[in-house]
């Protein structure tokens, strides 16, 4: 993992092009490489031009990495991921359905992103439907997971109503419309989004026009079936209450705290008809059931957080899909990606914590709506 990181810094693998090339030393070690190595080994960037210049004089990325690794308080890069025992244990609440086996997109449940799912025909088929390359990236897995769950439940059909939270610039609204689904896409109001960085990184939507993907759906169909509305996920309007499904892709970890994120999942059920389906993906802590990260713009959820949520939901009469925390057993499942992130990107390190994506599925209590086949 570290060798791959060093290779990218040394020029063997090119990072994404930048608008303005950083200043380079004669040997090719540039300012950005210095800053990235300092973040990796020290947990922060250098702060003065003098420090940058001094580090650049070490000659190359390998020499700088060796120097930083020897400093007091240096962060040790992670080795291959090894599964902790807490993932093996059944839930403490026997009411939570549970399984421990390699997760599959053929029969999805509440599950982790793993390497084996990228090799399934289901993954390739949905990537083809999305008109995108089947890359091994957890964000793309999240979209496919949502699609696989909806396909399993028979909800990708004409007459169904779907509600998307924090949709940003996702392709899902266009694909849903192509299948005949009526979609209300939502994202945070501009005053709430300000300061989060989503607009600056092109991940925030402010109008329905930004959601149109001409390669996925014809314009008249999109205009008829897709609409947009700014929504605060921490204050869902009560008039949203008649949808057959709702979804979000890695959004509720940004709502302010672990508590805010879990409350959103519960509150999202209020937007559904009886028997409706809520599908949400988020960040999962693969290392610890205690130590985690909880900040204003990013929280990493532990197993006990998910179990506490599922216990409350089952006690309220809702149906949670079985919890499967199998982290995968293929060689790629041991790989932990480091900045600057590149493919494959299934697991990554955040502040010393190994993180991946988890998909959660909950059915609202009540008799589900029956969809009749068209004549």
Look at residue 54 in the predicted model and tell me its pLDDT. 86
pTM of the model: 0.80
pLDDT of residue 375: 41
What is the rounded CA–CA span in Å between residue 188 and residue 200?
Answer: 14
The enclosing H or E element of 124 equals helix 121-129
What one-character-per-residue DSSP string does 25-62 give? -TTS-BHHHHHHHHHHHHSS---SHHHHHHHHTT-SHH
Strands 353-363 and 182-187: unpaired
Residue 248 β-bridge partners: 165, 280
Q: What is the pLDDT of residue 45?
A: 67
Candidates 266, 280, 182, 172; CA nearest to 223 is 182
Residue spans per domain, the chain: 2-69, 85-363
Structure tokens at 50: 């003098």
Among 328, 262, 327, smallest CA distance to 301 is for 262
For every residue of 251-273, which 3-state class applies, written as one string? CHHHCCCHHHHHHHHHHHHHHEE
Q: What CATH number belongs to 85-363?
A: 3.40.50.150
pLDDT in tens, the chain (375 residues): 444 444 444 444 333 333 334 444 444 578 878 887 787 777 776 668 888 888 888 888 888 888 887 888 776 666 789 999 999 999 999 999 999 999 999 999 999 999 999 999 999 999 999 999 999 999 999 999 999 999 999 999 999 999 999 999 999 999 999 999 999 999 999 876 555 544 444 455 678 999 999 999 999 999 999 999 999 999 999 999 999 999 999 999 999 999 999 999 999 999 999 999 999 999 999 999 999 999 999 999 999 999 999 999 999 999 999 999 999 999 999 999 987 788 999 999 998 899 999 999 999 999 998 887 654
DSSP 163: E
């Amino acid at each position: 993992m570290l060798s791959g990181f060093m290779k990218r810094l040394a020029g063997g693998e090119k990072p994404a092009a930048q608008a303005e090339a950083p200043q380079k030393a004669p040997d090719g070690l540039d300012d950005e490489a210095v800053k990235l190595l300092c973040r990796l080994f020290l947990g922060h960037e250098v702060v003065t031009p003098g420090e940058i210049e001094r580090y650049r004089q070490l000659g190359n990325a390998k020499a700088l990495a060796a120097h930083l690794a020897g400093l007091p308080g240096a962060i040790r890069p992670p080795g291959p991921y090894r599964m902790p025992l807490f993932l093996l244990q059944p839930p403490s609440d026997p009411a939570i359905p549970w399984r421990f086996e390699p997760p599959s997109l053929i029969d999805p449940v509440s599950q982790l992103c793993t390497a084996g799912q990228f090799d399934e025909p289901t993954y390739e088929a949905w990537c083809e439907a999305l008109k995108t390359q089947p890359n091994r990236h957890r964000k793309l897995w999240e979209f496919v997971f949502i699609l696989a769950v909806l396909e399993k439940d028979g909800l990708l059909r004409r007459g169904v109503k779907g509600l998307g939270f924090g949709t940003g610039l996702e392709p899902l609204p266009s694909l849903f419309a192509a299948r005949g689904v009526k979609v209300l896409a939502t994202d945070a109001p501009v005053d709430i989004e300000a300061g989060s960085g989503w607009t600056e990184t092109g991940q925030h939507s402010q109008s329905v026009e930004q959601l149109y993907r001409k390669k996925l759906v014809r314009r008249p169909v999109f205009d008829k079936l897709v609409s947009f509305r700014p929504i605060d996920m921490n204050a869902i309007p009560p008039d949203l209450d008649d949808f057959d499904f709702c979804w979000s892709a890695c959004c509720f970890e940004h709502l302010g705290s672990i508590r805010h994120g879990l409350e959103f999942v519960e509150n999202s059920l209020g937007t559904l008809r009886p028997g409706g389906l809520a599908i949400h993906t988020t960040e999962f802590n693969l290392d610890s059931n205690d130590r985690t990260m909880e900040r204003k713009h990013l929280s990493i959820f532990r197993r006990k957080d998910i179990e506490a949520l599922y216990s409350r939901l089952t006690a309220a009469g809702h149906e949670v899909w079985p919890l499967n925390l199998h982290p995968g057993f293929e060689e790629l499942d041991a790989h932990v990606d480091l900045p600057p992130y590149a493919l494959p990107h299934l697991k990554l390190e955040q502040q010393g914590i190994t993180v991946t994506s988890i998909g959660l599925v909950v059915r609202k209590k009540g008799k589900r709506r029956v969809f009749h086949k068209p004549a």
